[in-house]
Structure formats: C-alpha cells, structure tokens
C-alpha cells in the first residue's frame, strides 16, 4: 500500500510542477525564427504589402491577403510588451528535382496591453531563402499558461474516469511485474514475461484534457500502459491509457507457469510416504 501511495504522489507531483512557458530556439533554427518574427512584426505594424512579399507565391491568394489584412487591422498598430516562443520544430528532406528543403513550425505568444495573441507560422527554407508557407493569428481570452494548465476544475465525469485509469493501469502493470519477478520461474521465462507484461498493452484510449475530445488507436506500444503529453506549449494536455493485456494474461496463466521442479518435489514427498508405510507393514 505504501508503494502505491508513493507512485500516486509522484503522478500528482507531475501535474503540480510548473510547466515551462517558453521554449529555447536552437542555433540552427534562429535564422528562421528571426525571419518569422520579422514577418509577424510587419503585420502588427501594418506593413501588409511587405508581409505579402515574404509569403510563398504558391499559397499567396486573395483569401490569404484578406486574412492578413484583417489581422493587421484588428491589432491596429498595438505595441507588444513581450513575446514567448511556444513552438519550435523543424523537418528536413530532399526532393529529387528541387534538392534539400527544411520546414520550420514556429509559434509565439505575444503579450499586448489589451490581451495576448497566439501567432503560428510555417517557414520553408530552400537554398538559404525563407518563405512563409502558412500563418495564423488568434486572440486569446487568457495567457496560455492559464488556458493549458492541468486542472481538475470544471471537468466531466469522463475526464475523471480517464485520470483514474491512467493511474491504475501503471500500478496494475508494476504490481504484476513485481509478483512475476519474485515467483519461482526460470530467468528465461522472467525475461519473456517482463516484455509481455510491459509492452503488450492494446488498444490505446486518449482524451484531450482541455475539451474532452476522445480518440482511439489500436496499434500502439506503451511501457507502463498510460501516458501524459503536451505536444506544444499552446496544446492541451493529452491523457492516454492502454488495456494491459499482457499483465491480464499473466494472471490467468500464472499457475500453469509454475516450474516443473515444484511438482516433482510434491511427488517425491508422496513416494516417501508410500515407502514409509510399506516398511511399517513389513516390520509388523
């Protein structure tokens, strides 16, 4: 019971700790980060024509121009107090015809006098030249740290059910693993069953902690049968758990997995009793 309490305490501490509100930008992504922020500054200051020149011509259409123009008007030249990097990811590849390319996904939380705005961009780099492939701006009702923090307030019964399973499934798997390791089995069987108990957990159930949206996936691997993740700093927490099939199968097969030597010992005891009885009769 004490072990279970400690494990629960660790999980509680995970959600109680302060999650970072800003990400560092690596040296390789700094040029794209600078280009992205310059593009955003042009929209904030109303330099829409200059901003259009930074957009990939393949995606620059009337709808994109209208969106950027409206965004600039809504900001109305407000001066940002500060900004925070909330996403900084990139992928690289090679096209046979066009050569090497890199796509950067960058997100920023800009703080203004009247509120915060989340800007996200996708920047294409090719031959050292940057172009904007995607842009979005969203006014936030509160700072991201408040909107995306893990809280139990105002959650549905389904949220609580998911949270309970996310805690109980790892406890069940760990308990099963400990019982198996202390049982009288060969080392080879313990290694095999350790892998089965830890890795065979299907399917996967996932919930978006922010909006309660559910998802389901059949083929997934999880070490302890549950997971807690936050893909970006502006994403809601994602909670998931698996059905611990490997651990459940072990409990059904536990008796049959007892080593043969235990059964031989019991037979030897019975044989000794028979021999002892026959000797007593002969003496009589």
pLDDT on residue 205: 92
For the chain (284 residues), the mean pLDDT of every run of 10, in chain order, is: 45 50 86 96 94 94 94 91 92 72 93 93 91 94 88 89 93 94 89 90 88 83 82 88 92 80 47 49 48
Residues 143 and 49 in one domain: yes
| Cα–Cα distance measured from residue 128 to residue 249, given in angstroms and rounded to the nearest whole number | 56
User: Do the domain assignments include residue 67?
Assistant: yes
| Type and span of the H or E element at 146 | helix 144-147
CA distances 207 to 147, 225, 241, 280, Å, are 17, 15, 9, 72
Task: Please indicate, yes or no, whether residues 154 and 215 belong to a single structural domain of this protein.
Answer: yes
Q: Domain ends where: 147, 181, 204?
A: 147
Q: In this structure, is residue 271 part of a structural domain?
A: no
Strands in 238-242's sheet, in edge-to-edge order, are: 214-217, 204-208, 238-242, 226-229
Domain that holds residue 42: 21-147
Instruction: Say if residue 129 is in the same domain as residue 28.
Output: yes
Rounded-to-integer distance, Cα 235 and Cα 15, Å: 15
Claim to verify: residue 15 and residue 55 sit in the same structural domain = no
Query: Does residue 190 sit within a domain?
Result: yes
Q: Are residues 193 and 205 in the same domain?
A: yes
Q: Which residues pair with 242 in a beta bridge?
A: 204
Same domain, 117 and 159: no
Of 131, 147, 163, which closes a domain?
Answer: 147
Query: Do 163 and 201 have their domain in common?
Result: yes
The whole-number pLDDT of residue 107 equals: 95
> Residue 15: what pLDDT?
47
Q: Looking at the 3D structure of the chain, how many domains does it have?
A: 2
Helix axes 245-253, 187-199, angle to 10 degrees: 140
117-131 pLDDT tens trace: 999 999 999 888 999
Among the listed residues 138, 88, 91, the one whose alpha carbon sits nearest the alpha carbon of residue 116: 138
Give residue-wise pLDDT tens across range 220-271: 777 788 888 888 888 888 999 999 999 999 999 888 876 654 444 444 445 5
Q: Is residue 86 part of a domain?
A: yes
Q: Give the pLDDT of residue 67.
A: 95
Domain annotation covers residue 59: yes
Residue 153: what pLDDT? 86
Within a domain: 279:
no
Q: Report the CATH number at residue 127.
A: 3.10.450.540
Domain-embedded: residue 191:
yes
Angle at the Cα of 181 from the Cα atoms of 177 and 186, rounded to 5 degrees? 130
Same domain, 225 and 184: yes
- Tens digit of each residue's pLDDT (9 = 90 or more) over 260-279: 544 444 444 455 554 455 44
- Residue 62 CA to residue 69 CA, distance in Å, equals 10
Burial tier of 7 (Cβ tally within 10 Å: 0-12, 13-18, 19+):
middle
Q: What's 197-244 look like in SS3?
A: HHHCCCCEEEEECCCCCEEEECCCCCCCCEEEECCCCCCCCEEEEECC
* pLDDT value of residue 230: 84
Q: What pLDDT, on a 0 to 100 scale, did the predictor assign at position 103? A: 93
Q: Are residues 192 and 105 in the same domain?
A: no
82 token code pair: 């500060």
């Amino acid at each position: 019971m004490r072990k279970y309490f400690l494990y629960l305490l660790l999980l509680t501490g995970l959600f109680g700790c302060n999650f970072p509100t800003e990400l560092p930008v690596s040296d390789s992504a700094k040029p794209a980060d600078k280009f992205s922020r310059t593009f955003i500054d042009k929209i904030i200051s109303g330099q829409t024509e200059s901003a259009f020149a930074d957009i990939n011509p393949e995606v620059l259409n009337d709808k994109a121009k209208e969106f950027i123009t409206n965004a600039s008007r809504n900001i109305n030249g407000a001066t940002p107090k500060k900004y925070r990097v909330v996403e900084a990811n990139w992928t690289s590849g090679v096209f046979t015809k066009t050569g090497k390319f890199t796509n950067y996904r960058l997100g920023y939380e800009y703080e203004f006098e009247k509120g915060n705005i989340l800007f996200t961009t996708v920047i294409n780099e090719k031959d050292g030249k940057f172009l904007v492939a995607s842009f979005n701006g969203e006014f936030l009702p509160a700072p991201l740290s408040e909107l995306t923090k893990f809280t139990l307030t105002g959650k549905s019964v389904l949220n609580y059910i998911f949270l309970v399973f996310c805690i109980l499934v790892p406890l069940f798997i760990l308990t099963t693993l400990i019982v198996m390791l202390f049982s009288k089995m060969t080392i080879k069987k313990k290694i095999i069953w350790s892998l089965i108990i830890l890795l065979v957990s299907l399917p996967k159930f996932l919930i978006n902690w922010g909006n309660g949206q559910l998802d389901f996936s059949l083929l997934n691997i999880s070490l302890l049968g549950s997971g807690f993740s936050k893909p970006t700093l502006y994403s809601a927490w994602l909670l998931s758990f698996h059905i611990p099939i490997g651990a459940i199968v072990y409990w059904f097969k536990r008796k049959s997995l007892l080593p043969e030597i235990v059964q031989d010992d019991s037979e030897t005891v019975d044989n000794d009793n028979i021999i002892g009885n026959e000797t007593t009769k002969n003496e009589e």
